[in-house]
Amino acid sequence: MGLDIRIPIGSLFVILGALLAGYGLLSNPAIYQRSLGVNINLWWGGALLAFGIAMLALAWRAAAARGRAGREGVGEPDPFG
């Protein structure tokens, strides 16, 4: 398929994660009374960021493997590509 879906998924979660974690760092701690004292924005934003980066890393690795295979004309087909 033309577009590796891991790129849009990865980018979306990197942006959302960064926004959320950034807000978690800057926001007034009083709002976390609702979430039982857990700064859920910071923690969960970090989790989303890590997930997004992992997705992008997988996509880049697959693209690099395809590039190598393309130059050599052979190679293992990427099972997720």
Which residues of this protein are in contact with other proteins, per CB under 8 A?
1-3, 5, 8-9, 11-13, 15-16, 19-20, 23-24, 27, 31-32, 34-36, 38, 40-41, 44-45, 47-48, 51, 79-81
Q: Which is nearer to other proteins, 64 or 80 (CB)?
A: 80
Cβ of residue 13: shortest distance to other proteins, in angstroms?
7
- 3-state per-residue secondary structure call for the chain: CCCCCHHHHHHHHHHHHHHHHHHHHHCCHHHHHCCCCCCHHHHHHHHHHHHHHHHHHHHHHHHHHHHHHHHHCCCCCCCCC
Cβ of residue 73: shortest distance to other proteins, in angstroms?
21
